[in-house]
Structure 1
Amino acid sequence: MSTQPALTVRTKERGAELGDLFGIFFEDLNHAADGGLYAELVQNRSFEFDPIDHPDYHAFMGWEKVERGGGQAEATIGESQPINSRNPHYAVIDIAAEGNGVGLMNLGFNSGIPVKQGDRYLFSVFARRDASFHEPLTVTIEGADGTVYGETVIEVKSADWTKYEAVITSAATDMGSRLVLLTKGQGKLYLDMVSLFPEKTYLKRPGGLREDIAKLLADLKPKFMRFPGGCLVHDGSLNPDDRNSMYRWKNTIGPVEQRPARRNNWRYNQTLGLGYYEYFQLCEDIGAKPIPILPGGYDPHHNRIVPIEELSPWIQDALDLIEFANGDASTTWGAIRAELGHPEPFGLEYIGIGNEEVGEPFFERYPYFHRAIKEKYPAMKVINSSGPFAAGTEYERGWQSAREHQSDLVDEHYYSSPEWFLANYHRYDNFKADDPKVFLGEYASWGNTYYNALAEAAYMTGLEKNAHAVGLACYAPLLCNVDYVNWKPDMIWFNNHEVYGTPNYYVQQLFMHHQGDQLITIEASGLEAAPNDIKMPINGGLSLETDRCSFRYWDIVLVNNDNGEVKKLNSGLPCTLSDTEEDRRNGTPVKAIDLGETDWENYTITLKAQRMSGPKGFNLKFGQTDEKNKRIWEFGGWQNQDSIIASHINGRGSVLTQSLFNVEDHKEYDLKLEVSGRRIRAWINGELINETEDTLPVIEPLYYSASYDRTTGDTIVKVVNVQDNSVNADVVLEDLQKPYLNVDIHEMSGHSLDDENTFEAPDRVSPKQSHIRVPGNRFAYDFPKHSITVFRVK
């Protein structure tokens, strides 16, 4: 006799607190700040763009000289008399013939400066001139064809730097307009900090945030916001005054004209107009707890390391930041915050040291920060780092450091295929409640389709059910400007006037709106497991590949571990892979060699290798069924720092494990790779360097979690069906003795797995809402195939 499948929610059985589980992560990549969330419409407003930022950059990036009606002028960059030493460059307009006016035009970001008919725009500039003080500076917003939409006139009456402000109202809507500054007369006109902001910023804050993007962030209702980034936190010079300095928070507060420009390590310029005060303010505005991440005195990208004896100022930066956020107006940094306009503390609870750190230098330095912070602020939750991957020796080193020093949380990062997320659904089941908590500070499956969002939703029910071990989690990255893409996928996409949330955004929103405060026991019965008995050995094509390097290989041997059969994959004589710049110039690169294929399930590949020249190592590909489905041993991977085993499914990679390793020129390496079923091990010169299992997804009949919302008294049930068929089950709310149930339903379903949102269809994939009223404490529900359902029982 078959029983009706059921999800039984024991409403009186409460579990772990969910706390601040779901939040957001802001990093200035993909022009997320300048040209994005930060509402400044002028690109390169202070003429500080530089080849340090990007080889193509120069001080007049985003600007064009304007000479009208016979006017002639020379435009140069001055630095002998700046507004201040931290903003050394300014524009000099040397008037040769006034004509109908000479000056500069700013092209804005993307297609230009977006303006709307009837909207007001706040213009400001620092200016001075050495003659013709009676001649006005005319400032216009113009179309690309020269049509004037709005203008203002300013009299620059001083030879000293003076700030001038005006309001311009646009008479038209144009997403590709220009800002033009023209003058007549003679002599020289000097300009700096040329700025144009929409009056309509988020919450009308002057110099604030772009309203539509900030509203999408607020609409998520995140519990926290991690900022100001990932890699850009620690990549740079150790000197805070260098143009190429690491991200130092004290450079980002105070008047914007006094904030130094900075090289963003995503290869563009960062004005720092969106700085720490603005980050704290944004967190407060959207109800998110701030989680700042500070550098730990180590740049792993360029191996810059602060000597231990010189670490004090870096530690002091962390202590001063806590005082800036939480100190009252009688403290040094609390007083500075109050002067900036926020006398009340921001209520900082968390602080992170380091981002994706790998290597001994960070873990030597972390304890100094941890001890100093805990000594002065014992209640502050301190976050340690476990590197950029989900497993491996550096990941383990991060956890070892966190346990040893009693970090409150460990920052884990991973970007993987949707299949990896489904295969690792139970990842945190055996993590201990008395260990440091997991802060899943960056994660995403590769893509912004509905399938990606569905896999992430399934995984997030696992994060919820393991709230005893998982303290915080945030999808990454948050924002992407479509014309300046450094990285994808991203949660929110925008151009200069439109914005939309991806399917991933709406999944995050569902989980944030319906997180609840405390877990409730939920159990499944009578559900049929999806068929998962497929045995898939890791076999197929074998090949070697290099990039910009020259290698010798010899003695490549394949051994069948079941019967001892041996195959020599080359003659045993050395052969060469060479893809150097010289090879490319000569048209003779040999990037890869094919080693054939195997249908064996348990085998070992051995070879000897020697690098002749080049910046990194090579890849040994194995288990390859086509170009998009394969396994890779990266020997001397990213910046020649790693030995990595990775899996690629449908073109989407997942790093299964990582260890630090550096390939040296002319050194001979004895390499061995062993595949046993789905277990993979790699040795270098006899030392086991990587060990992992390429786990296959075992699809659950349903993925589910349940929680209790203290504020409303609601019971929340989340159910994800990733199967290709619908699943019918009863939802039973045990111990809820009511004559009927009022249930709000939020559901994402009915979408093709490859559906995406676009500017033209921004909410093609988004939740639909409905309501049911049912007698008793149970109701039957048909969970559609590929669906995400949230019940809110009132």
Structure 2
Amino acid sequence: TTKSEIVLSGDSGTWKKVCCSVKATKTEMGRLVILFRGRGRIGVDYVSLLPEDVWGDAEKYRNGKLSTRIVQVLKECHPSFLRFPGGCVVEGDEVFENQYRWRGTVGPLEKRRQIANTWGYMQSYGIGFYEYFCLCEDLKMAPLPVVHCGLLCQIRVGEQRGEGYRRIMPGTKMFKEEVIDNVADLLFFAKGSTESQDKEEEYWAGVRAEMGHPEPFSLEYVGIGNENWGREYFENFAACLMGLRQYEYAGKQTDLLKKFGITVITTAGVDIRPQDSNDNWKIINEKYRDMIVDEHVYNSYQWFIDNTKRYDFYDRNGAKVFMGEYAMHTMSDGRGRLNGENNLRSAIAEAAFLTGCERNSDMVKLTCYAPLFASTANYKWTPDLIWFNPRDIMRTPNYYVQQMFAGNTGKFILNDVCETDEDNAGGILIGAHATQVAVREVRIRAIEDGKLLYRHNFKDGMGGWTAFPRAAGGRIADGELIIDEADAFNGFWLEGNYSECEVEVDMRRIKGEQSFIVGVGVRGVEDRGTMDCNAFSMSCQYGKNHKGYDVSFDKRVDFIRTVCELMGKDKFVGYAPEKNTLKIVYGGKKMRAYFCKDGEWNFLFEKNVWRVNERVFQSATTDGEKIWLKVVNASGTEQDLHVELKNFNKKTSAKVITLSDEDENVINEIGANEGAKHNIVPTETNLKIGGDFFDYKLDKNSVTVFVLD
């Protein structure tokens, strides 16, 4: 036990700031106890206990303090930017008063008013926007602040509670003050001049100077909105932009975004759901091509492995991408509870996905894992990149992947360094999800000349169609294949080698609330002995109750992989009582879907498709001489790598950085109050190169970076 005393005096009833120093006698878990002696009435507000050793210059950080150990771990990850304060925390929940208010996070700590946030706890604002900007400056990170657009969290309020979307309406005084001015004041605070002729800019620049930073901060990006979509968002977004571009500044109408050199980041909705994301992208590429689009993905291992080519197909003339939140999650029921451990398996999946982002860095401008930090004492979400307790810090395998990628990147991308097999031919899938359907006939025609390649009517029996392993199956009745209703996916497949074809399936819905499914390009069907069998397909899932999540079906997260477009209510045209036809036009790299009801064809969607059965992934960059080659081995076995160096000066050696383990489920560990154990960390070795090539055996379950100098 150690103690210190403060003598209190005065009876004026005004607040007075007092402080003292306490020296600990040893390192252990403890608690702060405040005892009062004497007679009288005392009001206490804002009690804080901080270590003497904190990050940064004391004059610069006059108010909020940062932990040196935590900042150092962040610095060692080589970040180039920092998105703050986060995503959903910006939007607020239940009431507008709980939207993140950055203006309340600056100034003296005791004057920063706490509020409840989206995640169910009070925010002290001990770290605010000033401290974020200072930290970005110290670590040479580009600041990327995010502000709300006047919408409460659409997922929580509108979707989960079904209460409709709540927003501050454009054109109102509240919208001007809480949305437009909120952004304008942020620009004034970050980049404004204390000698400005505009009173608001002068005021907010003065706040910054008084806090310890007279000079403007660097600021290039501002995000407006988080995981928003639909009419409500884009009406608010457009009104906010107009207000900023026609802002009353020093007595003149001024485009503040242009004046302060700001690139706006808009949003693609939630988790790249096709229903939201596709519609958002259409609007953005029609009206806002000069902006960057914030995409978020919390998805399965298979999604990340299978989407390494996702950005190969994005419109190069459209808006660019900010992968603003991503992490591999375990999904207990398709798109149900998000959870998971920070194990090597998740890190490998994310590394594979990052190779695709790096190869497409002309399109993908920024990426960041989320969440960044988690306290063992109070967390609301897993997994997280960096865990800490009161004494120790644990770097996850996912952290080391981020460190390896961020710290080993050149200025230029080397494309086409590896031959790829783009053949997407395969068999055909028919099935259902929580719905009973009857299929009468399947036809396959060549796109080029309409030639009939296959035709089967189930009045003639099964005709080679086989139930998927562990699926509920069905039966032939009255000339139809009855696919029984099941809680998860249930279906049949036909072996084949079909591509550049049209597939038509005549069907009728019997009962159920979910969807009918047709897939093409089916390969690799096998029985794993569990509910999750293995297969690859591009599928259309047609039903009225789907929101359009681009993931696999319920509990079978490794089952139907990639390009699974699920129809939302806006694209659902219903069923005819007897005959309906779902048509897939499959061109190998494109897939279109149509639905025929009552003799009328309805267009459903068009999607890019790609082969996804690779298990070794790569990306390469250079600065002209040095080469950085990243290779991710997700095959589960060792792999032989052969590398040839062409049109580069002769290399004699390479540094090899490897993150690997025999057990893909290995994790690093941390105690609730103390202790951290790192079971897996990157290793470094040197490789001699004897000529213009080298061979290397990749570890199983590995992420490897070759630095050729």
The normalised TM-score by structure 2 is 0.73
Distance 2:652 2:690 in 1: 6
Structure-2 separation of matches of 1:257 and 1:670? 66
Match of residue 664 from structure 2: 753
Give the Cα–Cα distance (whole angstroms) in 2 for the partners of residues 234 and 295 of structure 1: 5
The aligned residue for residue 232 of structure 2 is 361
Quick check: 1:327 aligned with 2:192? yes
Would the alpha carbon gap of residues 621 and 608 (structure 1) be closer, same or farther in structure 2, given more than 3 Å must change? closer
Match of 1:728 in 2: 640
CA distance in 2: counterparts of 1:338 and 1:736, whole angstroms? 50
The 10-residue stretch of structure 1 (773-782 or 164-173) with the greater mean CA deviation from structure 2: 773-782
Q: Corresponding residue for 1:401?
A: 283
Per the alignment, residue 270 of structure 1 pairs with 123
Distance 1:645 1:376, change over 3 A: closer
Instruction: Give the conservation status (yes or no) of the 8 Å contact 1:719–1:788.
Output: yes
Match of 2:69 among 202, 212, 228: 212
- Cα distance change of structure 1 residues 390 and 644 upon mapping to structure 2, 3 Å threshold: closer
Contact 2:508 2:575 (C-alpha < 8 Å) held by counterparts: no
In structure 2, distance between residues paired with 1:214 and 1:565: 65
Contact 2:427 2:493 in 1 (8 A): no
Aligned to 1:316: 181
1:293–1:352 contact (8 Å) kept in structure 2 = yes
Q: 1:786 aligns with which of 685, 696, 701?
A: 701
8 A Cα contact 2:433 2:490, kept in partner: yes
Choose between structure 1 and 2: higher helix proportion.
2
SS at match of 1:168: coil
Q: Contact 1:522/1:706 (CA < 8 Å) preserved in 2?
A: no
Task: Give the aligned residue type for 1:765.
Answer: I
- More displaced, 342-351 or 714-723? 714-723
Distance change in 2, residues 1:222/1:365 (3 Å): same
Unpaired stretches in structure 2, ≥5 consecutive residues: 158-164, 197-201, 246-254, 330-339, 443-455, 460-472, 476-484, 495-504, 519-526
CA distance in 1, matches of 2:423, 2:290: 42
Q: What is the one-letter code of the residue matched to 2:613?
A: I
Task: Return the letter of the residue paired with 2:381.
Answer: W
2:31, 2:594 → 1: CA distance? Answer: 58
1:141 equivalent in structure 2: none
How far, CA to CA, are the matches of 1:650 and 1:762 in structure 2?
32
Match of residue 191 from structure 1: 44
The residue aligned with 2:384 is 490
With over 3 angstroms needed to count, the CA separation of the structure-2 counterparts of 1:655 and 1:414, relative to structure 1, is farther
CA contact (8 A) 1:458 1:720 kept: yes
Structure 2 distance, partners of 1:515, 1:659, is: 39
Q: Is the 8 A contact 2:543 2:566 kept in 1?
A: no
- The change in CA–CA distance for 1:600 and 1:776 in structure 2 (over 3 A counts) is closer
The aligned runs of 1:532-547 (5 Å cut-off) are 537=429, 539=431, 543=434
CA deviation string 1:72-102 (max 9, x = no partner): xxxxxxxxxxxxxxxxxxxxxxxxxxxxxxx
Is contact 1:516-1:716 (8 Å) kept? yes
Q: Secondary structure at the match of 1:167?
A: coil
Out of 552, 560, 570, the residue aligned to residue 647 of structure 1 is 552
Q: In the alignment, is the contact (CA less than 8 A) between 1:370 and 1:407 conserved in 2? A: no
Work out the CA distance in 2 between the residues paired with 1:322 and 1:340: 16
**Partner of residue 509, structure 2:** 606
**Residue identity opposite 2:102 in structure 1:** W
Which one-letter code corresponds to 1:435 in the other structure? G
Task: Output the CA distance in 1 between the equivalents of 2:604 and 2:8.
Answer: 67
What do the CA deviations read for 1:251-306 (whole angstroms, capped 9, x no partner)? 21111221221111111111222211111112122221001111112222432222
8 Å CA contact retained: 1:532, 1:699: no
Q: Which of 652, 658, 665 is the aligned partner of 1:741?
A: 652
User: After superposition, what is the alpha-carbon deviation per residue over 1:125-156, rounded to whole angstroms, capped at 9, x for unaligned?
Assistant: xxxxxxxxxxxxxxxxxxxxxxxx21011111
Q: Decide which of 299, 318, 328 is 1:445's aligned counterpart.
A: 328
Distance 1:274 1:682 in 2: 52
Residues 64 and 128 in structure 2, CA contact (< 8 A), matched pair in contact too: no
Change (3 A) 1:371 1:734: farther
Q: Quick one: distance in 2 between partners of 1:185 and 1:351?
A: 52
- Equivalent residues in 2 for 1:67-466, closer than 5 Å: 149-159=1-11, 160=13, 161-175=15-29, 177-203=30-56, 205=61, 207-236=64-93, 242=97, 245-299=98-152, 300=154, 301-302=156-157, 303-310=165-172, 311-313=175-177, 314-331=179-196, 332=202, 333-373=204-244, 375-378=255-258, 379-403=261-285, 404-446=287-329, 447=340, 448-466=342-360
CA-CA distance at 1:685 after TM superposition? 10
In structure 2, the partner of 1:718 is 630
Distance 1:183 1:594, change over 3 A: closer
Query: Aligned residue for 1:512?
Result: 406
Retained in 2: the 8 A contact 1:411–1:439?
A: yes
User: What TM-score, normalized to structure 1?
Assistant: 0.66
Letter matched to residue 629 of structure 2? V
Cα–Cα, structure 1 residues 434 and 682, in superposed 2: closer, same or farther, change >3 Å?
A: closer
Task: Measure how far apart 1:490 and its partner are.
Answer: 1.4
Alpha-carbon contact 1:608-1:669 (below 8 Å) kept: no
Distance 2:554 2:488 in 1: 21
Distance 1:621 1:178, change over 3 A: farther
Contact 1:238 1:297 (8 Å CA) reproduced: no
| CA drift at 1:783 | 2.2
Instruction: Answer yes or no: is the 8 Å Cα contact 1:643–1:690 preserved in 2.
Output: no
Residues 677 and 747 of structure 1: is their aligned pair in 2 closer, same or farther, counting only changes over 3 Å?
farther
Number of matched pairs: 587
Matched with 1:74 is: none
SS where residue 35 of structure 2 aligns? strand
Q: Percent identity?
A: 30
Instruction: Decide whether the 8 Å contact of 1:234 with 1:298 is kept in 2.
Output: yes
Are 1:389 and 1:655, in contact at CA under 8 Å, matched by a contact in 2?
no
- CA distance in 1 between counterparts of 2:543 and 2:52 reads 51
Q: For the residues of structure 2 that align with 1:634 and 1:232, how far apart are their CA atoms?
A: 33
Measure the CA separation in 2 of the matches of 1:604 and 1:762: 57
Q: Deviations over 1:320-368 (max 9, x none)?
A: 2122111232232222211111112211011111111022011112223
8 Å contact kept, 2:563–2:609: no
Preserved contact between residue 388 and residue 413 of structure 1 (Cα < 8 Å):
yes
| Contact 2:393–2:676 (8 Å) recurs in 1 | no
Paired residues of 2:374 and 2:387 also in contact (CA < 8 A): yes
Distance 1:493 1:775 in 2: 43
* Pairwise CA distance, 1:389: 2.7
Distance 1:237 1:763 in 2: 41
CA RMSD of aligned residues (A): 4.0
C-alpha distance in 2 between matches for 1:769 and 1:682: 53
Q: How does 1:547-586 map to 2 (within 5 A)?
A: 557-562=437-442
SS in 1 for 2:681: coil
- 1:625-640 mapped onto 2 (5 Å cutoff): none
State the one-letter code of the partner of 1:750: D
1:633 and 1:643 in contact (8 A); partners too: no
Q: Which amino acid aligns with 2:438?
A: L
The one of 699, 703, 706 equivalent to 2:613 is 699
Please tell me the residue identity of whatever aligns with 1:167: S
Report the alpha carbon displacement of residue 213 of structure 1 after superposing the two structures with TM: 2.3
Distance 2:488 2:218 in 1: 60
Counterpart amino acid of 1:753? E
Residue in structure 2 matched with residue 38 of structure 1 by the alignment = none
Aligned partners of 2:147, 2:324: CA distance in 1, in Å? 14
d(CA) in 1 for partners of 2:65, 2:581: 55
Alignment-mate amino acid for residue 10 of structure 2: S
